[in-house]
Structure formats: structure tokens, C-alpha cells
Chain A
Amino acid sequence: MYIIFRRIIPFFTRAFLVGLFLSFLMTIFDIYYSTKSPSLLCVQVTNIKVWLYDFEEVEDKGLREFAFVTMDIDGDFTSLFTFNTKAIFVSVIVEYETSTHKRNQIMLWSTTIMKNSITRIKSHKTLNKYSLYDITNSFNGVNGTYIIEWNVIPKVGMIKYGRANSNESKFVCAFPMINNNTSINV
């Protein structure tokens, strides 16, 4: 004789497992469909200034170079939004190589696009949101590449990562040395 407590648990366990399988199917179909990239990506740096500041959080570090970058950002992410997308996190990073450290990446600017909002980003002459300084105390005038990256946050599944690949959507320019502390107009 089967009483209610012995019947209710297997029923809901089976339902839960089938629900997990349903969400797995949704993720698989979404991955199969969304191998797209944004249709327009462009970042351009109009102005870089480098100043020497005292890094107040640590006592014995002394003065270090802080860079202020003004840029124009343009991107169209409409084709990346499927039924499984909740938000897209867009960021602009700068990559450069110095003599002591082979690969440096610093995030300059970021924003989040939610699903039911405008999916086109267009920023004109924005300053970098986050501080730009090197792990040693100066940049030494190396060349920096400015790249747009994005992370797609789904409703069900894993976070996907993408970055600009073609050379037209990246931007290369050098950090100015501290001796000639004038702004460069690109």
C-alpha cells in the first residue's frame, strides 16, 4: 500500500530532473544559434595625457604615472541578443608590452546592456572610468592597443566571452613620455 509520502518524493524528483534536462536543451540550442559577432565595433582614442601623481594608498611607492585617455566608442550588439540572453557586459581594455612584463591588460571603461534597452553603444569623448597606471612606475612610452571585449550573460547556461578580432576595430597608439607632457591629437 503506497501512502502519499512515499509517492510524492519520486514524482517531484523526476520532475526536477526533467526540468534540468529542459534547461540544458535550451542552452545547447542557444549555443548552436548564437555564433554571431557584433556588426559594428569601433574604438578611437582622441587624446592621451600622462601625469605624475603620488600614489596615496601605499607609502613608499613614490610618484607614478597616471594616464587619462579620451575615446570615442561605437558598437552594435543587436545580433547577440537571443531568447537566452539576460545582459551583455561590454568593456574597453588596453594591451601593451613592457620590457619587464610581457603582457599587460587594463580595463578602462565598462557598461552593461540589459535585454530590453537600447543595444547600440555610442559614446563620444568619454574619459576612462578606472585608473590607468602601470605596475612599475612609468609607461616608458610603449604602444598600447585598445580593444573592445564583451561577455554575454545568459538566463540558463555559461557566460560567453568575445573580443574584437579584426585590425580595423582595434586602435594602436603610444603613451606619451612624461618629458613632453603635452596632449597628442590623433
Chain B
Amino acid sequence: MWFEWKIDFEGQKQAELISQVGIILFAAIGFIAGFLLQNLILAFQIFGGGIFLTSLFVLPPWSFYNQHPVQWLPPIQIEKDKPEQEEVDELKEKST
């Protein structure tokens, strides 16, 4: 579905790495800037802005997250009379 915003597993690894780095980096930048300028609200503003930017980078399904799509196996063709024949043979073996 178009609204599910799917990404594949390789893309998920990249997205998690980028999100962790982004969150911690913006927290460190916010702390240093707020501590040097002696302003508590500025630290949290920088942190919030950084979270917003990282979410723009991580959450939507960009094309580089879909480079390795999952390879599904081809469907198996099942014939209808074979399983019944196998069941009949098994019943005969058990009775003898």
C-alpha cells in the first residue's frame, strides 16, 4: 500500500544507524551550545530541531532505503490428485 511507507531490511539497518547517530549528535551539540551560552532553553530547542531534521531524513521511504528488495521465491505448482494418492498408499501400509 502506498501509505504504509515500506522500506526493506537493508534500508532499515541504514535508517537505524542514521537515527542513532543523529539523535546523539544533536543532543551533544545542544548540550555544549546551551552550556557555553548559559541558556537552558536553547539546548532543548537545538535538540528538538535536530530530532525534527533526523525524522525527515529517516522516516519517509527514500529511494536509497529500497535498494535491496526482498527476493521472493517463485510460487510452487501443486497438482491436485497426487496428495490423495499418497494418503491412500500410507493407509494401505499401516493396515498391512
Contact = CB atoms under 8 A, between A and B. Distances in A.
A2 B59 contact: no
B4 A29 contact: no
Contacts of A23: 44
A18 B29 CA distance: 13
A14 interface: yes
Contact of A156 (B12, B40, B70): B40
Interface residues of A, number: 23
A29 B23 CA distance: 21
Interface stretch (A4-12, A102-110, A120-128): A4-12
Contact of A11 (B5, B6, B43, B58): B58
B31 A1 contact: no
A91 to B, nearest CB: 26
A22 B5 contact: no
Interface in A23-39: 23, 25-26, 29
A8 B44 contact: no
A61 interface: no
Contacts of A156: 40
A14 B34 CA distance: 21
Nearest to B65: A2
Given A2-B6, A4-B59, A83-B38, A22 B51 contact: no
B27 A1 contact: no
Is chain B's interface secondary structure helix, strand, loop, or mixed overall?
A: helix
A2 B7 contact: yes
A143 B72 CA distance: 90
Given A11-B55, A83-B34, A83-B38, A3 B44 contact: no
A3 B9 CA distance: 11
Contacts of A79: none
Residue picked from B15, B39, B40, B51, most chain A C-beta under 10 Å = B40
A83 B59 contact: no
Contacts of A1: 6-9, 70
B27 A21 contact: yes
Contacts of B61: 4
A22 B38 contact: no
A169 interface: no
A21 to B, nearest CB: 7
B17 interface: no
A21 B5 CA distance: 31
